[in-house]
């Protein structure tokens, strides 16, 4: 049973085309239950080698709506921010699992976890569209907006080629200072964690059935951050707030790094 209507989201995404410095591109579409589902990429700013490039993606798990809301809010708030756009350009994939988003399910309507569909022989249509849209693209920062429905507090993943670029502690500190609960377990989702921060061991990454974060990192390296606000503990607005706060810190440190 659908709890959200993708058509309303389509209207909101397409409306971003009228924002200054924003372009909306349909990166592909697929059919499901007699309906056509277009997928989108929104870019803000003109790509240039002198600017840092940031990719933001959300909604690959359909039951994580705060990411979709945060990604679109970021587009709407940032497109007119000329000073930000003298430092960075943005590539935003706002809703990577349209049918799951409508049904409020982690998987798509066919029961596939799209975040395990990268670097496989026959990926689901959505993952194929995303991978094609990202082919040949490279980013200084990949920012993934997820949520965790079971976690008692906020946590995050961070991978960076250069440990000097690590900013996870700053993001966790900011969330704590804002009064949000942090997941302090020393093991989260099967991975060693410290103070709400998971830094996966790169050598242990599998080679196939990749999540988008690992796929993006394998393609080009750089700095990949995944935020996991606790969906059962905080309101949608609070989870969106964590995403946007974390993103602001990541962008700030990126442009400060020169």
Task: Provide, rounded to whole angstroms, the least separation between the CB of residue 20 and Zn ion.
Answer: 31
Residue nearer to Zn ion on the CB measure, 53 or 99: 99
The only residue of 44, 58, 61, 117 in contact with Zn ion, by rule CB under 5 A: 61
**Window contacting Zn ion (CB under 5 A); options: 91-99, 138-146, 165-173, 205-213:** 138-146
215 binds Zn ion (CB under 5 A): no
Using alpha carbons, select from 32, 1, 23, 220 the residue that is nearest to residue 126: 32
Phi, psi of 242 (to 5 degrees): -60, -45
The only residue of 87, 146, 215, 233 in contact with Zn ion, by rule CB under 5 A: 146
Q: What angle do CA 253, 249, 144 make, to 5 degrees?
A: 105
Task: Provide, rounded to whole angstroms, the least separation between the CB of residue 61 and Zn ion.
Answer: 4
Residue nearer to Zn ion on the CB measure, 45 or 211: 211
Q: What is the CA radius of gyration of the chain?
A: 17
Please report the sign of the dihedral spanned by the C-alpha atoms of residue 109, residue 239, residue 237, residue 52: negative
Beta bridge partners of 42: 24, 92
**Window contacting Zn ion (CB under 5 A); options: 11-19, 48-56, 62-70, 83-91:** 62-70
Task: Provide, rounded to whole angstroms, the least separation between the CB of residue 13 and Zn ion.
Answer: 20
Burial of 170 (C-beta count, 10 Å sphere; 0-12/13-18/19+)? middle
* Contacts with Zn ion, residue ranges (CB under 5 A): 61, 64, 146
């Amino acid at each position: 049973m659908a709890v959200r209507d993708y058509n309303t989201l389509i209207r909101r995404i397409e409306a971003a085309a009228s924002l200054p410095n924003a372009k909306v591109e349909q990166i592909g579409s697929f059919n499901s239950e007699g309906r056509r589902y277009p997928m989108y990429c929104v870019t803000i700013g003109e790509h240039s080698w002198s600017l840092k490039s940031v990719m933001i993606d959300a909604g690959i798990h359909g039951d994580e709506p705060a990411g979709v809301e945060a990604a679109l809010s970021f587009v709407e708030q940032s497109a007119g921010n000329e000073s930000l756009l003298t430092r960075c350009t943005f590539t935003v994939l706002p809703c990577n699992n349209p049918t799951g988003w409508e049904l409020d399910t982690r998987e798509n309507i066919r029961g596939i976890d799209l975040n395990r569909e990268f670097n496989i022989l026959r990926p689901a249509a959505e993952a194929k569209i995303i991978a094609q849209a990202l082919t040949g693209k490279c980013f200084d920062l990949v920012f993934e907006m997820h949520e965790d429905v079971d976690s008692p507090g906020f946590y995050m993943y961070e991978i960076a080629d250069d440990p000097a670029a690590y900013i996870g502690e700053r993001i966790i500190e900011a969330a704590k200072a804002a009064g949000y609960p942090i997941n302090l377990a020393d093991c989260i989702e099967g991975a060693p964690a410290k103070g709400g921060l998971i830094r996966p061991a790169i050598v242990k990454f599998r080679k196939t059935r990749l999540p988008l974060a690992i796929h993006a990192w394998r393609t080009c390296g750089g700095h990949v951050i995944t935020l996991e606000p606790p969906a059962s503990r905080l309101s949608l607005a609070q989870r969106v707030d964590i995403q946007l706060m974390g993103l602001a810190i990541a962008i700030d440190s990126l442009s400060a790094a020169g």
